[in-house]
Structure 1
Amino acid sequence: MAPERIMFIRHAEKPTASEGIGIEADGKADDESLAVRGWQRAGALARFFCPIHETHSARLTPATVFAPGNGPASKSKRAMQTVAPLVALLQETSQVNYVTAHLKDDGQALMRDVLAQPGVVLIAWEHKVLPSLIGHVPGAPAVPATWPEDRFDMVWILDRVPGGWSFSQLPQLLLAGDIAGPIS
């Protein structure tokens, strides 16, 4: 078994001077959680990846979702919070495999697990690590070397093709200020 498509997103907006404090789902302040705008993106991503119109869902709706678990090197909850609304929506309508067993810097083991999954896979991870994850995919195409600090609005997609993978970028265009242009 191997996935036909692997999608990569960065966790949603984090606390900064411009985005404000991080908050948990219950509203409690927490520096390791999403900012309010991040929670807005997380909610919008649920319908982005699980659209109401069935014709769009076949290539976007994941059968498996990965987010890093918490560990000594990272206490961040942001990636898990980013996919929480999507996972909840998918659990209402279908089976979804939700995996948080890998830590943020465990790229090789993560990608070994990803490559064993069928169908469409979504990975929500820290932006600094995303390009290196793709390097663990045999036959992976070239991708941008870095994911910019200020881009929360893009989906990187690897599609299986004969002899390897193709790479494309899909702008989310979910919130005001999202950019349609690719990451270069």
Structure 2
Amino acid sequence: MTRASGPSRRTVLLGLALAAPVVAAGCGGKGDQQSASASAPPADPGHDTTVMIIRHGERPRSGDPGFDEAGKQDKKSLTRQGWERSHALPRLFAATANTTRAPASSGSARTALPRPATLYAAADRGPHAGAHRMRQTVTPLGEALHVGVNTEFAEGREKELAAAALSAASPVLICWEHSKIPAIVEALGAAQVTGVPQDWPDRFDLVWVFTRRAGTWTFRSVPQHLLSGDA
């Protein structure tokens, strides 16, 4: 007997199996689109980081001149007390090397601060250069930590500085002109965090610490307690 022409049963079943996913995809409708959207990961809020900001050391005032690295009077450099602060600054972070807390000059425990992995200071060379005080303040710290001081950004480029700091190796320490520090905080996206002052106070002995975890910033202000006159 001659077998009837046309597709075999096996061929028909195989064709139906291949067509099934196409039909299912076409009938998913709006409900399936909403389900896929709900399961998509949220936008990346940025990696966790810590950004610390300090003001440069003491600046020249009437009867208290500044001096450059060679000891020559220079109005753009630190005063003698500013240089003392600069050379004392490594002690502020040395305690965290073995997770201990160093005693402050007043006898109380100093709040531990993370050792910076990245250092920034305002540019003091080039067409947009400012004073030397920012670089001078953190140079001894960079030498102690074996970390170079990045002076790529001049005052007025706080937005670019903040963007670089957020992508740099953390923790980050920025030494800047105090009147421009609020612009850095704004560019970081941390200006509205609870406790952040609108302006830097008239002090040289503070560290502002901004920590971002899971996209949320927190803030604390830490006194340095490095010199005898520090609050």
Which stretches in structure 1 are left out of the alignment for 5+ residues?
180-184
Residues 102 and 110 of structure 1 are in contact (CA less than 8 Å); yes or no, is this contact kept in structure 2?
yes
**Which residue does the alignment assign to 1:4?**
49
Aligned counterparts of 1:52 and 1:60: Cα–Cα separation in 2: 6
Larger radius of gyration: 2
AA of the residue aligned to 1:5: T
SS in 2 for 1:166: strand
Residue 145 of structure 1: aligned partner = 198
Q: Which has the higher strand share?
A: 1
Higher relative contact order (CA 8 A, sep 6+): 1
How many residues are aligned here?
Answer: 173
- What fraction of aligned residue pairs are identical, expressed as a percent? 38
Tell me if 1:42 matches 2:86: yes
| CA distance 1:56–1:126, change in 2 (3 Å) | farther
Aligned-partner Cα distance in 1 for 2:62–2:207: 25
SS of equivalent residue, structure 1 residue 159: strand
C-alpha contact (below 8 Å) 2:86/2:136 kept by paired residues: yes
- What is aligned with 2:160? 109
Q: Distance in 1 between matches of 2:226 and 2:52?
A: 17
Q: Is the 8 A contact 2:130 2:155 kept in 1?
A: no
Q: C-alpha deviations, 1:91-144, integer Å up to 9, x for none?
A: 1xxxx2521000011001101100111220000000001112110113552521
Matches of 1:161 and 1:151, distance apart in 2: 28
Unaligned runs of 5+ in 2: 1-45, 102-111
Query: Scaled by the length of structure 1, what TM-score is found?
Result: 0.85
CA distance in 2, matches of 1:25, 1:156: 27
For residues 200 and 129 of structure 2, what CA distance do their matches in structure 1 show?
A: 19
Kindly provide the CA deviation profile for residues 146-174 of structure 1, in whole angstroms up to 9, marking residues without a partner as x.
112x3000000001123321000100011
Query: Residue type matched to 1:24 in 2?
Result: D
Could you tell me which residue of structure 2 aligns to residue 85 of structure 1?
A: 140
| Structure 2 counterparts to residues 24-35 of structure 1, below 5 A | 24-35=68-79
Equivalent-residue separation in structure 2 for 1:130 and 1:13 (angstroms): 16
For the pair 1:178 / 2:230, whether they are aligned, the reply is yes
> SS at 1:122's partner residue?
strand
Deviation of the 1:45 alpha carbon: 0.5
Larger proportion of helix:
2
Are the counterparts in 1 of residues 96 and 115 from structure 2 also a CA contact under 8 Å?
no
Letter in 2 for 1:87: G
Secondary structure of 1:87's aligned partner: helix
Other-structure match for 2:59 = 14
